[in-house]
Amino acid sequence: MTQRVYLFKGFERFWHWTQAALIIFMLLTGFEIHGTFANFGFEKAVKLHTISAWGLVGLWIFAIFWHVTTGEWRQYIPTTDKIAAISRYYSSGIFKHEPHPFKPTTQQKHNPMQRLTYLAILTLLSPLLWVTGWLYLFYADWASWGLSALQLEWVATGHTIGAFFMLAFLISHLYLATTGHKITSQLKAMVTGWEEIE
pLDDT in tens, the chain (198 residues): 678 889 999 999 999 999 999 999 999 999 999 888 899 999 999 999 999 999 999 999 999 999 999 999 999 999 888 899 999 998 899 889 888 899 888 899 999 999 999 999 999 999 999 999 999 999 999 999 999 999 999 999 999 999 999 999 999 999 999 887 788 888 999 999 998 877
Instruction: Find the largest Cα–Cα distance for the chain.
Output: 64
pLDDT score for 196? 81
Between the alpha carbon of residue 33 and those of residues 5, 41, 54, 64, 162, the distances in Å are 43, 8, 17, 29, 15
pLDDT of 186 reads 87
The span from the CA of 93 to the CA of 41, in Å, is: 46
**From the centroid of its chain, how far is CA 22?**
11
Angstrom distance (rounded) from CA 33 to CA 42: 6
Which residues does residue 196 pair with via DSSP β-bridges, in sequence order? 4
Beta-strand ranges (E) seen in the chain are 3-6, 194-197
For the chain, give percent helix, strand, coil, nearest 5: 65, 5, 30
Question: Half-sphere exposure (CA, 13 Å, Cβ side) for 147?
Answer: 15
* 35-93 pLDDT per residue, tens: 888 999 999 999 999 999 999 999 999 999 999 999 999 999 998 888 999 999 988 99
Q: What is the spatial distance between Cα 152 and Cα 159, in angstroms, rounded to a whole number?
A: 11
Show the beta-strand stretches assigned E in 44-159: none
Residue 195: the pLDDT is 87
Which pLDDT value is given to residue 66?
A: 96
